[in-house]
């Protein structure tokens, strides 16, 4: 039997979600290291898949990683990163060290932009033979002039604070320039891929939709 999956992004529309909606899916995928503990009523407290930049020097704590229930971990960095216990749980998981390098090259060649971690997660499940229902939660595509995250700058990992310093984000957390991850191009590409998919996939939107 095929499974359903909710993919949790980091956009402000996460706050339209509910834990009950997310928990109605068989599996959950999270993208990078967004704060979860204060936001469990929106995004739950578990994850089956973790799509992450394995080169990030500030992963979740080991206790937190161990309690998520992970089964598969995908490195979305453009660099191939061997497995490292600092970002993997103590229990056995399947780890894909070169996933990001592959998908980045594919999307830059075919669609003309550098896919975000969320888009990489979408790509995986769109092409998965094991899933027939997908929900994209918090996918706001880095729209210029709009809030970037569902959480504050103070809650953002310090490895991302350079985005405020270099002017990519305004001080109050809005997108200040066209995103390297595509913006409207990424949004339109995702919509086109959904429409063109020859697989019998159901896409579920916000709760109760």
pLDDT 10s digits, 109-151: 999 999 999 999 999 999 999 999 999 999 999 999 999 999 9
Looking at the predicted structure, is the pLDDT value of residue 16 above 70?
yes
* Three-class secondary structure assignment of 54-71: CCCCCCCCHHHHHHHCCC
Secondary element (H or E) of residue 50? strand 49-52
Q: How confident is the model at residue 180 (pLDDT cuts 50, 70, 90)?
A: confident
Q: State pTM to two decimals.
A: 0.94
Looking at the predicted structure, is the pLDDT value of residue 205 above 80?
no
Q: What letter would DSSP give residue 81?
A: -
Domain residue limits, the chain: 3-204
Residue 157 is predicted with a pLDDT of 85
Looking at the predicted structure, is the pLDDT value of residue 69 above 70?
yes
CATH code for the part of the protein at 3-204: 3.90.1480.20
As a whole-number percent, the residues of the chain with pLDDT over 70 amount to: 98
Q: Pick the residue with more confidence: 54 or 158? A: 54
Give the span between the Cα atoms of 117 and 77, in whole angstroms.
8
Give the span between the Cα atoms of 117 and 180, in whole angstroms.
12
Q: Which residue has the tokens 């995250």?
A: 149
Looking at the predicted structure, is the pLDDT value of residue 171 above 70?
yes
Q: Which residue has the tokens 């980045």?
A: 104
Tokens of 57: 């020097």
Residue 70 is predicted with a pLDDT of 98
Q: Which residue has the tokens 């998965």?
A: 128
Residue 209 is predicted with a pLDDT of 46
Averaged pLDDT, 95-99: 98
Tokens of 195: 């429409």
């Amino acid at each position: 039997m095929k499974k359903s999956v909710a993919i949790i992004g980091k956009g402000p529309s996460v706050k339209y979600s509910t834990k009950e909606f997310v928990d109605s899916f068989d599996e959950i995928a999270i993208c990078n290291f967004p704060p979860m503990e204060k936001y469990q009523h929106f995004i739950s407290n578990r994850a089956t898949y973790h799509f992450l930049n394995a080169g990030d020097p500030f992963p979740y704590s080991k206790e937190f990683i161990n309690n998520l229930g992970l089964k598969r971990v995908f490195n979305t960095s453009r660099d191939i990163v061997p497995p490292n216990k600092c970002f993997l749980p103590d229990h056995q998981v399947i780890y894909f060290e070169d996933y990001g390098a592959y998908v980045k090259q594919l999307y830059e060649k075919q669609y003309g932009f550098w896919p975000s971690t969320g888009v990489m997660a979408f790509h995986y499940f769109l092409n998965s033979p094991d899933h027939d229902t997908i929900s994209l939660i918090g996918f706001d595509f880095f729209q210029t002039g709009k809030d970037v995250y569902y959480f504050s700058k103070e809650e953002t990992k310090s490895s991302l604070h350079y985005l405020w310093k270099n002017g990519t984000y305004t001080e109050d957390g809005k997108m200040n320039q066209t995103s390297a991850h595509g913006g409207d191009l990424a949004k339109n590409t995702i919509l086109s891929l959904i429409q063109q998919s020859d697989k019998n996939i159901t896409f579920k939107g916000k709760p109760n939709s």
